[in-house]
Homo-oligomer: A and B are copies of this chain.
Amino acid sequence: MFSKSCEYAIRAVVFVATQNNAGNKLGIMEICKEIDAPQHFTAKILQSLSHNGIISSQKGPSGGFYLNKTQTRLKLIDVVRALDGDKTFTGCGLGLKNCSEKKQCPIHNQFKVVRDELLNMLSNTYVVQLAEEIEKGSAVLSNISGR
């Protein structure tokens, strides 16, 4: 459904949101360890997100990634769009490059319903809301058992 980049990004952003209270910033190593993601790869992803204004970053000692006031209102759709673009919501279900309303694949309309449901879900889900789930302990962000 999503690219690996996008999966790691969502997990990372949600984790950052859980720790964003006291205004403390999170380093790459800390984030990757918690969400069980490859360090260098995830670093690039977060840098890309930072570049796109999805999250904020601070260099130097005691620096790291964090969310500014505006960014705490982040939705999942923002993260997905920044990394995977619109192709998740516009691409043809059967891989036809020219598939459109005018010249459509046979499952075009049926598929549209599913994609709209996805788009709707991502548009109505806030990152902070997911962070709360983690804080409450009703959800996890890592593969590693016991965390």
Contact = CB atoms under 8 A, between A and B. Distances in A.
A5 to B, nearest CB: 10
A121 B130 contact: no
B94 A107 contact: no
Interface stretch (A19-27, A46-54, A65-73, A96-104): A96-104
Given A114-B114, A121-B114, A140 B96 contact: yes
Interface string A76-104: 10000000000000010111111000011
Interface size class of A (residues with CB under 8 A): 35 or more
Interface of A: 1-2, 4, 7-8, 10-11, 14, 76, 91, 93-98, 103-108, 110-111, 113-114, 117-118, 121, 125, 130-131, 133-134, 138-143, 145
Nearest to A144: B98
Number of copies: 2
A130 to B, nearest CB: 4
A107 B140 CA distance: 10
A106 B121 contact: no
Nearest to A8: B95
Nearest to A140: B103
B143 A96 contact: yes
23 contacts: A1-B1, A1-B91, A4-B95, A7-B93, A10-B107, A11-B94, A96-B140, A96-B141, A96-B142, A96-B143, A98-B143, A104-B140, A105-B139, A105-B141, A106-B130, A106-B131, A107-B130, A108-B139, A110-B125, A111-B121, A113-B121, A114-B114, A114-B118
